[in-house]
Structure 1
Amino acid sequence: MKMENILIEKQENIAIVTINRPEKLNALNKATIQELHEGFKSLNEDKSVKVIIVTGSGEKAFVAGADISEFANFSVENGGLLAAKGQEILFDYVQNLSTPVIAAVNGFALGGGLELAMACHFRVASDNAKMGLPEVTLGVIPGYGGTQRLPQLVGKGRAMEMIMSAAMIDAETAKNYGLVNHVVPQAELLEFTKGIATKITKNSSVAIAKAIEAVNANYEDGVNGYETEIKNFGACFGTEDFKEGTTAFLEKRKAVFPGK
């Protein structure tokens, strides 16, 4: 698939996905959502890629929201289908990806942009970042998981206030809320995030994938996260990574994980 709205760059075991629609402040339209799905799918299947970083082109915006012009005239049925497909192919897909995904939030992360950042496994923000869910100003609600993931990250009361007021918060407030893990100067954002990613690449990719699944299980209705943890913990004992990790520990050397 030819990519017209995103850029993908690989640096050793790290892939950087850049949403590249600067003239639209990197707004998510259907084509961009589909390209992101294809890009994440391809990178997840590439065993040389241990971590994915997603960011926006330029310094103004990570993603300034959804492309409103695409759905302004939608019917009730079309609106529901838009949310369902978007959640399936991108937002839920990213959350459940076995390869770690870090959002490097530069500038505005609004509406669908904040929802994409929240779907990632964790977030790093530039000091000029602004985040919010302004959908109620358009007479609609967040439809790409925002009403579910925001309370999980910041708590029900803060999420209710952010959604109902449609107010933006700055990067430091987002950090205090637990919405982002780190805040760094704009010029240092990618290098700082790559530093975290590099630490992750040195660990067992098999174990990390099992950990992602176990953590996510805690937020799934009808799923016992403890049982998922027990199952995945046991499964690790049958991997080559476990054998290498324990052998390296006993031999007092650094492990070189095969990723199997």
Structure 2
Amino acid sequence: MIEKQHGIVWFTICRPTRRNAIDYAVMDELEQALQLVECDDEAKVLVITGEGEEAFCAGGDLQVFHQLTTKEEAHAMLWKMGNILYRLLTLPKPTVALINGKAIGGGCELATACDFRFARAGARLGFVQANLAITTGWGGAAMLFEKMAYDKALDLLLHAQTITAEEAERIGFVHRIFADSLRERCEKQLRCYTNKPTAVLRAYKEAAVGRWKTEEFRQRFFAEIERCAYLWESEEHDRAVQSFLAKRNK
């Protein structure tokens, strides 16, 4: 769902029964939100969040994407979302992930692509892809190594467990924690941005994202997609997903 209010474009993933997991429809809607923010001078900040209080985003919807069995099929999906997150990463306006609940796997990649991450107190976050015998596949690792200290970023990826928003703030992944009234607190936090001229916001963002528009970074970003696609068709990944789905459906 896309809303615009007081200079903020709110993009809400509205799949609470699937823990706001990403499918192809969500990808298409996110592209629409990015297009709006890019083209509308009255849209000064993009905020991405999830519906409800349980989940920000549970990553890719395994019930949908587990049907992709070959590296070619997986690559097409990974490339589509990877391109969207690269576009989000280099968007010429400020972006915020408002983490209202669990952010798991690709949900953390989505949050990493944003400039700022605000989280509900006690929310849990985790790059858990390694537990499914794959890597981040939407550019998440490339972005994380750019935005965090090397050792902390690598530990998050290899540990592959969830941590609290408070711990994520301590290591520099989360920037603000709100106990309640997330949307209101977020809007209040962003007023100092939305009262600035759009041209100023664009100028600072263009200065910031120039380092991610280089050919060297693009190669690293999209090489990650190739590696994940290769691992996707492995027997280890298939067994791990089957085991995960069986436990969740008990």
Does 2:206 correspond to 1:213?
yes
Distance 1:150 1:212 in 2: 18
Superposition CA RMSD, Å: 1.8
Structure with more of its chain in helix, by fraction: 2
Does 2:33 correspond to 1:39?
yes
Counterpart residue type for residue 182 of structure 1: R
Identity of counterpart residues, as a percentage?
Answer: 31
The counterpart of 1:16, out of the listed 10, 22, 30, is 10
In the TM superposition, what are the counterparts of 1:49-88 in structure 2 within 5 Å? Answer: 49-72=43-66, 73-88=68-83
Counterpart residue type for residue 102 of structure 1: V
Distance 1:148 1:70 in 2: 25
Deviation digits for residues 39-63 of structure 1 (CA, Å, limit 9, x no counterpart): 2212332222211211100001110
Note if contact 1:14-1:198 (Cα within 8 Å) is conserved in structure 2.
no
Does 2:23 correspond to 1:29?
yes
Q: Give the superposition deviation at 1:219.
A: 4.0
Partner of 1:4: none
Distance 2:34 2:214 in 1: 25
> What 5-or-longer segments of structure 2 have no aligned partner?
217-250
Distance 1:123 1:202 in 2: 20
Most deviating of 53-62 and 190-199: 190-199
Counterpart residue type for residue 53 of structure 2: E
Q: Give the superposition deviation at 1:179.
A: 0.7
How many pairs align?
A: 216
Partner of 2:192: 199
Note if contact 1:52-1:101 (Cα within 8 Å) is conserved in structure 2.
yes
Note if contact 2:57-2:104 (Cα within 8 Å) is conserved in structure 1.
yes
Distance 2:140 2:149 in 1: 13
Q: Give the superposition deviation at 1:99.
A: 2.3
Q: Give the superposition deviation at 1:153.
A: 2.5
Q: Give the superposition deviation at 1:27.
A: 0.2
Distance 2:212 2:8 in 1: 28
Distance 1:168 1:151 in 2: 18
Deviation digits for residues 76-129 of structure 1 (CA, Å, limit 9, x no counterpart): 1222222222111x2011111122211111111111111111111111111021
Moved over 3 A (4+): 219-223
Higher RCO, Cα 8 Å, sep 6+: 2
Deviation digits for residues 177-225 of structure 1 (CA, Å, limit 9, x no counterpart): 111111111x2321121012221011121121121121122345458xx
Distance 1:220 1:133 in 2: 25
Counterpart residue type for residue 137 of structure 1: N
Most deviating of 134-143 and 18-27: 134-143
Please state whether the residue corresponding to 1:54 is helix, strand or coil.
strand
TM-score by length of structure 1 reads: 0.78
TM-score by length of structure 2 reads: 0.81
In the TM superposition, what are the counterparts of 1:131-142 in structure 2 within 5 Å? Answer: 131-142=125-136
Most deviating of 12-21 and 53-62: 12-21
